[in-house]
Structure 1
């Protein structure tokens, strides 16, 4: 059976994976881009954006695993758009006409809409479904490849709570946000079901990888 993976989920020292006050002009709320500055310097990011070289160190190696062997993605409503995007029938996500996913993407929302076919192989499907049901749909679409749970933190937490994640890559960034949406709440003793490795890099972040035992 295909694996369920989470990659490049950045959190602050106090456990927040996004800030408070998400809006159209602030996708991560008051956190701004601070959680992801480590990634912006990597070759992976520059290759995704089509420009520049970027660094090819350890941060790049971790970041680049994001797309390897992925056949479908699951994301939450908060990753797909700002609060209220369901009221805008023209909203097609943050990523323009050619999103970077290049696979079927299943957006979890209590207000589903018809699927949207985008450029580059991405098709958005909108589901009102619990994690296990959404995963079943994504696995069918993935064609034997792995399924990535792309976020945000609430969706990742829900999948972890139901024991559905095989590989979790969290990047701890040395900042304190104080408010926002936390990843770890309600996941007491999660470490008992995973082998955990930690790698710190010159950028100041620590890559934590959780592999199901």
Structure 2
């Protein structure tokens, strides 16, 4: 089992634009971070839609879906994404939401469940590992949640989809003390497509 963090990121290091809100989940000007995903056949399949581009980007997205057995995310990501995902979210796996506010488990269509964890990042990861079986656990976001797991040394692999766009502001992945400090990473792969450059790194133990 591998703990991954898989995120789209702008060339200047942002994973969301400024002014993230329930009505503006990606933040201002962040459309380039996500538009390339929405046209992929593998993404559309997870939304119950037909068609879409069958290309290397779609293959990589499908590989992520197939390899991931559980997901951890922050409460903000859940709240800003819930309306967009609707009753049939694309995860098709148990999702563990970090929060300070208890909430009953939500069971959605397609095998997605949302379990709200109030005991911190380690407890959420332990639950996700137990639910994932032999598949991976992905720390989905947002930036603050990924930084907490990076700072705790709990992420095995970092997968970044670098989109050829400059946002100029917003939420950076590597800002703040939780992600600070010298870290050596082992490059695993670099795949370039017209839509994004897909980077995969491992944190040596």
* TM-score, normalization by structure 2: 0.88
Matched pairs, number: 201
Question: Any idea what SS the aligned residue of 1:29 has?
Answer: coil
CA RMSD of aligned residues (A): 2.0
Q: CA deviation at 1:138?
A: 1.2
Q: Does 1:26 align with 2:54?
A: no
Taking the aligned partners of 2:11 and 2:19, their CA distance within structure 1 comes to 19
Whether 1:208 aligns to 2:199 is yes
1:52 and 1:93, CA in 2 relative to 1: closer, same or farther beyond 3 A? closer
- Give the match for residue 164 of structure 1: 154
User: Structure 2: any 5+ residue segments left out of the alignment?
Assistant: none
The alignment partner of 1:197 has SS state of strand
CA contact (8 A) 1:81 1:94 kept: no
- Distance in 1, matches of 2:31 and 2:95, equals 24
Verify: 1:146 aligned to 2:136, yes or no.
Answer: yes
Quote the residue 2:48 is aligned against: 50
Counterpart Cα distance in 1 of 2:60 and 2:156: 16
Gap regions ≥5 residues in structure 1: 83-90
Secondary structure, aligned partner of 2:199: strand
Residue matched to 1:197: 189
Q: TM-score, normalised by structure 1?
A: 0.85
